[in-house]
């Protein structure tokens, strides 16, 4: 089984081919950093045009790297949401066209579900498991009971943690993309230099809030303009954000145990899951709860075609395919 995945939900045009045996035959990503860097964030119209210009080249390279002809593809999965509408239209239409021309199954991929299941491409993780999804657009805790069964325990009530990373990095002039730039800046900082708040961390709720923390960082930056101040502020924010994620994960573990959900592993996915401080704090809380911690390799935490292709494999296994008239959905909750 060779499944072609196409991802175009935001600012990466990506395509990959994976097999049912978990072999990633190709994984091609065209990043739009150069297109959006001058604006300090993603411009939807520019992103859509870049997808349109590059998608045929990216898919062709994925086929070439896998040493396969398009006639050998078993099925094609294309991201249909959530994400930026322009990019979703480009990628999903390209995927549907391939499916129609080659008379093969089409899978409408939910981008969040692809992140949620991506750990099963690289590790032997069984259901159910607790998922912490942390990215630029999403922040939530849920139990993954199956390929299409997700029980949300908590989510952000304002900003996602990735959005907070990006906005703080932009404010401090660290460039785009903000998350990796802030993590790099924090290496030389003192994470105890600035006491920062941890919103919603006094009760048992699994919901997140990062707007107050973001505002506190921006306020603290006033009057602290040296290079060391900047590094200290980045380190303090990063450590606080990681501890919030760990605290909420512990609350979710407690909820699962109260419901008698038999967990053995906690999984982190999404771009922020590649942050080493975040991973360290999550490992600590998992160890204290006698659970394993897993996360995909960093290259599979950010948006990529391999996770979309793998979701296609998972969906084919349960015979869940879609009609070619499936419309892109900029907002598309998991499990719908």
Give the per-residue pLDDT at 176: 80
Give the per-residue pLDDT at 5: 98
pTM (2 d.p.) = 0.95
Q: Identify which of 99, 159, 75 has the alpha carbon closest to the alpha carbon of residue 324.
A: 99
Sort 296 into a burial class: Cβ within 10 Å, 0-12 / 13-18 / 19+: buried
What homologous superfamily does CATH list for 126-295? ATPase, nucleotide binding domain (3.30.420.40)
Give the whole-angstrom CA distance, residue 80 versus residue 109. 6
Using N-to-C axis directions, what is the helix angle for 211-220 and 227-258, rounded to 10°? Answer: 160
Token representation of residue 23: 């072999």
Q: Where do the CATH 3.30.420.40 domains begin and end in the chain?
A: 2-117+300-317, 126-295
Give the whole-angstrom CA distance, residue 94 versus residue 321. 17
Give the whole-angstrom CA distance, residue 131 versus residue 120. 12
Q: Identify which of 133, 119, 55, 131 has the alpha carbon closest to the alpha carbon of residue 314.
A: 119
Q: In what order do the strands lie in the sheet with 2-7?
A: 24-31, 12-19, 2-7, 75-81, 106-110
Measure CA 236 to chain center: 23
Among positive and negative, which fits the CA dihedral 256, 266, 118, 300? positive
> For each of the chain's 336 residues, which pLDDT tens digit applies?
999 999 999 999 999 999 999 999 999 999 888 888 778 778 999 999 999 999 999 999 999 999 999 999 999 999 999 999 999 999 999 999 999 999 999 999 999 999 999 999 999 999 999 999 998 888 999 999 999 999 999 999 999 999 999 999 999 999 888 899 999 999 999 999 999 999 999 989 999 999 999 999 999 998 877 999 999 999 999 999 999 999 999 999 999 999 999 999 999 999 999 999 999 999 999 999 999 999 999 999 999 999 999 999 999 999 999 999 999 999 999 988
Give the per-residue pLDDT at 203: 87
Give the whole-angstrom CA distance, residue 299 versus residue 297. 5
Sort 272 into a burial class: Cβ within 10 Å, 0-12 / 13-18 / 19+: buried
What homologous superfamily does CATH list for 2-117+300-317? ATPase, nucleotide binding domain (3.30.420.40)
CA angle 119-30-320, nearest 5°?
45
CA distances for 329 relative to 100, 104, 139, 234, 326, angstroms: 20, 22, 19, 35, 9
Give the per-residue pLDDT at 224: 76
């Amino acid at each position: 089984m060779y499944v072609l995945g196409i991802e175009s939900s935001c600012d990466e045009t990506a395509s990959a081919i994976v097999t049912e045996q978990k072999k990633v035959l190709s994984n091609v990503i065209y990043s739009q950093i150069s297109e959006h860097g001058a604006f300090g964030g993603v411009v939807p119209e520019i992103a859509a045009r870049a997808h349109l210009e590059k998608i045929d080249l990216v898919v062709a390279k994925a086929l070439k790297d896998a040493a396969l002809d398009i006639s050998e593809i078993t099925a094609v999965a294309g991201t249909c949401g959530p994400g930026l509408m322009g990019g979703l239209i480009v990628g999903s239409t390209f995927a549907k066209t391939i499916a129609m021309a080659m008379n093969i199954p089409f899978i409408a991929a939910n981008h969040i579900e692809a992140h949620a299941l991506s750990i099963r491409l690289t590790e032997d993780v069984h259901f159910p498991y607790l998922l912490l999804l942390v990215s630029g657009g999403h922040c939530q805790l849920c139990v993954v009971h199956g390929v299409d069964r997700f029980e949300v325990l908590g989510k952000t009530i304002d900003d996602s943690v990735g959005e907070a990373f990006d906005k703080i990095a932009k404010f401090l002039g660290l460039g785009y993309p903000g998350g990796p730039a802030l993590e790099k800046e924090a290496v030389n900082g003192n994470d105890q230099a600035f006491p920062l708040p941890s919103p919603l961390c006094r009760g048992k709720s699994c919901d997140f809030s990062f707007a107050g923390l973001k505002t506190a960082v921006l306020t603290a930056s006033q009057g602290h303009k040296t290079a060391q101040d900047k590094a200290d502020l980045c380190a303090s924010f990063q450590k606080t954000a990681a501890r919030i994620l760990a605290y909420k994960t512990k609350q979710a573990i407690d909820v699962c145990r109260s419901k008698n959900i038999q967990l053995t592993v906690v999984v982190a996915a999404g771009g922020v899951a590649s942050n080493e401080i975040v991973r360290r704090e999550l490992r600590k809380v998992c160890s204290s709860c006698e659970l394993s911690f897993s996360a995909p390799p960093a290259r599979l935490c950010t948006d990529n075609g391999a996770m979309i292709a793998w979701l296609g494999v998972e969906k084919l296994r349960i015979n869940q395919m879609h009609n070619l008239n499936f419309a892109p959905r900029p907002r598309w909750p998991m499990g719908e």
